[in-house]
A and B are shown apart, each in its own frame.
Chain A
Amino acid sequence: MATVDLIDVRKRFGATEVIKGVNLTVADGEFIVIVGPSGCGKSTLLRMVAGLETVSDGEVRIGDRRVNDLEPMDRDISMVFQNYALYPHMSVRQNIGYGLKIAKMPKDQIAAKVAEAAALLQLTDYLDRRPRDLSGGQRQRVAMGRAIVREPSVFLFDEPLSNLDAKLRVQMRLEIKELQAKLGITALYVTHDQVEAMTMADRMVVMHAGVAEQIGTPLEVYESPATVFVAQFIGSPSMNILEATRTAGGAQLGDMMLPGPGGSGSVQLGIRPEHLSRDEAGPLQMHVNLAEPLGANTLLHGWLAGTQLPFTASVPGVWRMTGGTEELQLSVDPEHLHFFDKTTGRRL
């Protein structure tokens, strides 16, 4: 159990800076999800906490210790890898007990700990098998077992679910979250999947090009995204971003006038597809050329009248296209309008 602090952490490979100063304070027992597209530096950041990558600048603290120069084994952490990284020549029992054996724990205690972890993860029947004889989900559990058995201060997860099929991913997502809550161990979890991030995180860090664009609870991030990138990355389908001019009464979009909070200047206007509703008297006119029925709701793709920009709306129920393009009037609650600076992309 420990806090984790990242203080202006930077990573350079040669002349290129891939982590451009990240600050993060993780409370004891908190579940932090670091989410971002591939190449954003999220795995590098995690590996720096693990000690598998050196820290070019800044400070990483675990508990009250500065760990920048400590070897991974001295940081009191454990890590679950994307490809599980199980020891292929060892049985499940040996895999889970390897760290304890190295810590020179007496054999009977190791056996007890391994049995306990195996019971918790429903692996008891598989203890004598080799990793290659296990399914993906079971391998994932062995990796988890190896991580929890040493009772570290911090868990690190590097995209642990991305090699599993969709159904198993949902199940393991719950299991990991429950296990972490039960053990109360601080966790840093890296993923590119925004649904995983939304469902698992106490707080999430949205990363983009080496910068933590926003740190907050999932709902904070969803409701008031700090930048255009965050707005579009979090939420599915992603937010519509349009060029607009703010006026005293709202926003001017082409020749359409959207009522909302007043302002001035040209901005980027964000509207989530799910916040649009059908309204015969609505201010937005949309040309629909494709409908994706999802059952409970339907995604409509097309463009707004007067603009050529793609536009998506999510409407409840089933929508049947009658052919060609269709016209639709939509309205949006003024509190669901997001304004971003035209050049910096930051929330206004």
Chain B
Amino acid sequence: MTFKGWILPLLLIAPQVLISAVFFFYPAGQAIWQSLFIPDPFGLSMQWVGLGNFEYLLGNKYYLASFWTTAVFSTLVTVTSMVPALFLAVIADRLIKGAGTYRTLLIWPYAVAPAVAGVLWLFMFNTRVGIVSWYLGLLGYDWNHVLDGTQAMGLVVVASSWGRISYNFLFFYAALQSVPKSVIEAAAIDGARFWRRFWTIVLPLLSPTTFFLLVVNIIYAFFETFGVIHTITGGGPQQATTILVYKVYADGFVGQDLGSSAAQSVILLVVVGLLTVLQFKFVEKRVHY
């Protein structure tokens, strides 16, 4: 369909453009602009430093450590939220009785806000009153994520993945339902047993969904897990759970270094953009639509 003239098409795209402009282009532009300055602590004046903020960050070992933390965190979150989701979806797909109830129960955690989920997990693993840490103590395992960086990382990964499993489950379940039954039956007659069918037929047919979820979950781990980290560890101990987006907040709003914070968000923007481009360029080639 083609439009005559310009006015109607412009009107039709205007709402989307307006939203993008107000909530993305303007702040992004501001971030790029501010990343070139160092403001004084009272916000009264700004000093031009050019790329000085970036130079400082790329030589800062805490910032580089945060890169590594983010890589570990987002990989773990993506894996821990996708693998169990796929497994649960495969089981749900085979259910005949009670599938509806099972499905509904599995979808519930998605309705829990990230910060609430964080508090929930924090209570369970609280080093003094948490029920899980108490039982772990009975088993002789000393749980203290306030001091132990690895435990802290484990906890924020689980807390971030938990609700996400529901989301991934929904997509995998829908994708499984749309795999033609006769194709599975043909494979069964061809001699493939359940797991063989799963690896050679079902999984390849799920690949468009898997790819989509991969992209979406990595972006989730990069940005939307802020609430969970903020409520559970606050980035600690010793920055063990300070992912890039958390560091943007911590340096900018806690440390009041707005120039550095702005530079960090610019870097984050570039990293996620590159990552998504890479995924589409390389991973998508292995996807069968």
B205→A99 contact, CB < 8 A: no
By DSSP majority rule, is chain A's interface helix, strand, loop, or mixed? loop
User: Which B residues fall within an 8 A CB radius of A?
Assistant: 180, 182-183, 185-193, 196, 200-201, 204-205, 207, 288
B191→A146 contact, CB < 8 A: no
The tally of CB-CB contacts under 8 A between chains A and B is: 62
Interface flags for A291-327 (1: CB within 8 Å of B; 0: not) read 0000000000000000000000000000000000000
A85→B288 contact, CB < 8 A: no
Distance, CA A102 to CA B190, complexed state (A) = 8
Asked if A89 meets B204 with Cβ closer than 8 Å, knowing A52-B185, A83-B180, the reply is: yes
A146→B190 contact, CB < 8 A: yes
Min distance, Cβ A161 to any Cβ of chain B, angstroms: 16
Distance, CA A78 to CA B111, complexed state (A) = 47
Interface flags for A44-56 (1: CB within 8 Å of B; 0: not) read 0000001110000
Interface size class of A (residues with CB under 8 A): 20 to 34
Asked if A102 meets B192 with Cβ closer than 8 Å, knowing A87-B187, A87-B201, the reply is: yes
Query: Which residues on the B side are within 8 Å of A50 (C-beta)?
Result: 185, 189
A79→B191 contact, CB < 8 A: no
Min distance, Cβ B283 to any Cβ of chain A, angstroms: 15
Q: Tell me which residues from 64 to 84 in chain A have a Cβ below 8 Å from any Cβ of chain B.
A: 71-73, 77-79, 81-83
Asked if A102 meets B183 with Cβ closer than 8 Å, knowing A88-B288, A89-B204, the reply is: no
User: Which A residues fall within an 8 A CB radius of B?
Assistant: 50-52, 71-73, 77-79, 81-83, 85-89, 98-99, 102-103, 146, 150
B191→A81 contact, CB < 8 A: no
Residue of B190, B192, B193 ringed by the most chain A CB atoms within 10 A: B190
B188→A81 contact, CB < 8 A: no
Min distance, Cβ B185 to any Cβ of chain A, angstroms: 5
By DSSP majority rule, is chain B's interface helix, strand, loop, or mixed? helix
Query: Which residues on the A side are within 8 Å of B187 (C-beta)?
Result: 87, 98
B205→A85 contact, CB < 8 A: no
Identity of the chain B residue whose Cβ is nearest the Cβ of A99 in the assembled complex: B190
Identity of the chain B residue whose Cβ is nearest the Cβ of A97 in the assembled complex: B190
Distance, CA A89 to CA B183, complexed state (A) = 11
Distance, CA A83 to CA B191, complexed state (A) = 20
Min distance, Cβ A111 to any Cβ of chain B, angstroms: 17
Min distance, Cβ A13 to any Cβ of chain B, angstroms: 12
Min distance, Cβ A93 to any Cβ of chain B, angstroms: 14
Partner of B190, one of A73, A82, A89: A73
* 5 nearest A-B pairs in the assembled complex, by CB-CB distance: A99-B190, A85-B182, A85-B186, A89-B288, A102-B191
A72→B182 contact, CB < 8 A: no
Asked if A83 meets B182 with Cβ closer than 8 Å, knowing A73-B190, A73-B191, the reply is: yes
Residue of B188, B191, B192, B193 ringed by the most chain A CB atoms within 10 A: B191
Query: Which residues on the B side are within 8 Å of A87 (C-beta)?
Result: 183, 186-187, 201
Query: Which residues on the A side are within 8 Å of B189 (C-beta)?
Result: 50-52, 72-73, 77-79, 99
Beyond A102-B190, A102-B196, 4 extra complex contacts between A and B, CB < 8 Å? A73-B192, A83-B180, A85-B185, A88-B288
Min distance, Cβ B193 to any Cβ of chain A, angstroms: 7
A72→B196 contact, CB < 8 A: no
A-B contact pairs, 28 of them (CB 8 A): A50-B185, A71-B188, A72-B185, A73-B190, A78-B189, A78-B190, A83-B180, A83-B182, A85-B182, A85-B186, A86-B183, A87-B186, A87-B187, A87-B201, A88-B183, A89-B204, A89-B205, A89-B288, A98-B187, A98-B190, A98-B192, A98-B200, A99-B189, A99-B190, A99-B191, A102-B196, A146-B186, A146-B190
